[in-house]
Amino acid sequence: MRAQNGRLWSTLHEGKYEVRSLTEADLEEALNVLDDAFFNKESVCIACEIDLPENVQARRELRELSRVSALDGVSLVMKHVESGRIVAVSFNKLMFTPPPGEDPFFVKFRDEQVHSPQAQCLMNYMIAIESKVDICALYNIDCSCELMFLGTLPEYGRLGLARALTEATVQLAHELNQGQGLDDVAEELRDKRPVAVTALWTSVFTQKIGKAVGFKVVNSVPFNEFEYNGKRFDERIDPLHTFSEQAVYTF
């Protein structure tokens, strides 16, 4: 991850918006976007009560998950050029098979750094869904780029910003697969070559984005299969969103 001046990937709406690589200088602002556009809006966050004002610790722990993931150097932001404001984010993580005897990244982070029941609920959900279909085994993959948290500030919705971030994530991962753009990646990860982008789409909106960009759905899981604090997920989530999709884009 660069200190500042993140790489420009694309522009939208006659140059009014820019997709750029996340930098150290922009990290805190990007994490704030998660507070305003993901932790209080995303379906599973709502199901796990992460959105409730009193559950500050859960949001702090998920911010830390995002911060650690950003250190890989593969996360992206959308900037409103005139104001310089970050208005949408895609926190991405390079995922790979851990050494023998070590847990996968999400399991290790949950066990070592997550203490709130709400954040544990969300991470348990992510781990459970991703274990239903082993994409690594299915596609013979040893490294992928996970599109982990995707969020757009509400006042900047319906402008195609999330789709542009998704497309840029695919482009970034494909370049890494070809051995390009390695200078922006954490030094210890420069030997990794992702051969796919993976995602959990948890709303009809992100599911439409995934379909439009070319992701393949490998599994769909109804929200009524999970519960937290005495209620099924579907009892808290907007009925417009009834299931999540485990999806993959392969090169």
Q: For residue 2, is it within any domain?
A: no
Q: For residue 3, is it within any domain?
A: no
Q: For residue 41, is it within any domain?
A: yes
Report field, pTM of the whole predicted structure over 0.75: yes
Q: For residue 98, is it within any domain?
A: yes
Report how far residue 89's alpha carbon sits from residue 153's, in angstroms, rounded to the nearest whole number: 9
Write b or e for each residue in 80-116: b if 16 or more Cβ atoms lie within 10 A of its Cβ, otherwise e.
Answer: beeeeebbbbbbbbbbbeeeeeeebbbbebbeeebeb
Tokens 């907007």 locate to 238
CATH number of the domain to which 61 belongs:
3.40.630.30
The H-assigned helical ranges of 71-140 are 105-113, 117-132, 135-139
Contact between 77 and 169 (Cβ < 8 Å) = no
Tell me how many domains the chain contains: 1
pLDDT at site 93: 98
3-state SS assignment for residue 180: coil
Report how far residue 94's alpha carbon sits from residue 250's, in angstroms, rounded to the nearest whole number: 14
Tokens 């959990």 locate to 200
Q: Cα 205 from chain centroid?
A: 15
Binned at pLDDT 50, 70 and 90, residue 173 comes out as very high
Q: Stretch 204-212: mean pLDDT, rounded?
A: 98
Tokens 């150290």 locate to 24
Q: For residue 1, is it within any domain?
A: no
Contact between 78 and 164 (Cβ < 8 Å) = yes
- Domain holding 225, by residue range, is 8-250
Tokens 């305003």 locate to 36
pLDDT tens string 11-60 = 999 999 999 999 999 999 999 999 999 999 999 999 999 999 999 999 99
Q: For residue 91, is it within any domain?
A: yes
Partners of 201 in the β-ladder: 245
* Cα dihedral across residues 23, 4, 206, 174: positive or negative: negative
Q: For residue 136, is it within any domain?
A: yes
